[in-house]
Amino acid sequence: MWITLLVAHGLAAFMLLGAVTHQAIGVWLPARTKSATFLNRLRAVPPASYVNAIVVLFLTTAILGGIIYTNYRIGARLTLERGRFWKTFGAFELKEHIVTIGLAILPAYWYFWRAPLREEYARTRAMLTTVLGFVVWWGFLVGHLANNVRGLGT
Amino acid sequence: MRPSPSYAVFTVTFAAVFSVVYVFAVEYNWALFSYAPATGAFAPLTTPTAAGPTMYWYGWIATAAIAAAVVAAVASFLPESLAKRVWPGLSWAVPVAVLIAFGYLLRGYFLR
């Protein structure tokens, strides 16, 4: 069961990573021309269209991670301690807090991205997306790193 | 429909207060409840478990979420003249400051 949950957590995180990265690119580097290049199409995505998906995926990923965390606490965490993988250990400790802060900003993120998008909140939207993007990237990379230390299903 | 300013104040206050309360909850262990992953048992506040490690993370989140929800609910009833003065940037600036604080608090793991 734990492996199934871990894989589901990883897949949800992967989709979330794609969604929030697309949104951040659309916010900070919007397309200025109508060129049909790959990069231009990437930049031309409407950022607001990702909001609901990001909220649902963030909650799904966090809930799955919160369940798996109980198993990590009595298994993989001890491996990290015994192996003295302190940087990975610390990065994972930080992940727990960073993801929690992501949960804290989620209502504001959802609210400021609601239609109609008011121009006066443009910077707030951009910054909330950026912070959420950092949270998701940190969580994804550190989760992957910690998993690699112990190994899936070992 | 144009959203009411009180929702803006609620979400901004929630993000800021949650972040600040959470960092204090972690630092001073203000957990609303604790959990024993080895036995699956919950206990109130910071009760140590009979077997295996004790987890406080869920309890810290509960403490911060309840405190933030109460403060944000009160703040959302601010008069409109005051509500307009609440800087929406607090919704990301305070959490970013708290993230930096966590980096500082946990720096020991990266300096070994």
Domain segments of chain B as ranges: 1-79
pLDDT at B88: 95
A99 contacts on B by Cβ (under 8 Å): none
pLDDT the model gives residue A154: 58
Tell me the average pLDDT across B23-50.
Answer: 92
pLDDT tens, position by position, A21-56: 999 999 999 888 877 888 888 888 889 999 999 999
Which residue type sits at A64? L
Res B23 pLDDT > 90: yes
Contact at CB, A74 and B109, closer than 8 angstroms: no
Judged by a CB distance cut-off of 8 A, whether residue B42 touches chain A is no
Model pLDDT, residue A44: 86
pTM: predicted TM-score of the whole model, two decimal places: 0.93
pLDDT at residue B1, as a whole number: 44
Would you state the pLDDT for residue A103?
A: 98
| Per-residue pLDDT tens digits for B36-47 | 999 989 999 998
Question: Parallel, antiparallel, or unpaired for β B33-36 and B41-44?
Answer: antiparallel
Chain B residue whose CA is closest to A106: B15
Query: A94: distance to nearest CA of chain B, Å?
Result: 7
B60 Cα to chain A: minimum distance (Å): 10
Partner B contacted by A144 (CB < 8 A): no
Chain B closest-CA separation from residue A21 CA (Å): 18
Nearest-neighbour CA in chain A from B41: distance (Å): 12
Residues on chain B touching A73 (C-beta within 8 angstroms): 37, 53, 55
pLDDT on residue A134? 98
Q: What is the DSSP string of B18-73?
A: HHHHHHHHHHHT--SEEEETTTTEEEETTPPPSSS--B-HHHHHHHHHHHHHHHHH
A128 confidence band (pLDDT: 50, 70, 90): very high
Residue in this structure with the two tokens 């300096």, named with its chain if needed: B111
CB contact under 8 A, B98 and A74: no
- CB contact (8 A) between residue A107 and residue B3: no
Least Cα distance to A60 among A68, A72, A71, A70 occurs for A68
Q: Mean pLDDT over all residues of chain B?
A: 92
Residues on chain A touching B58 (C-beta within 8 angstroms):
66
Compare CB distances from A114 to B3, B26, B53 and report the shortest one's residue.
B3
* Residue pointed to by tokens 């109508």: A34
pLDDT above 70: percentage of residues in chain B: 96
More confident residue, B50 or A136: A136
User: Which amino acid is located at A88 in the chain?
Assistant: T
Count Cβ atoms below 10 Å from residue B8 Cβ, excluding itself.
22
Chain A residue with the nearest C-alpha to that of B111: A87
Average pLDDT over residues B44-54: 87
Whether residue B31 lies within 8 A of chain A, CB to CB, comes out as: no
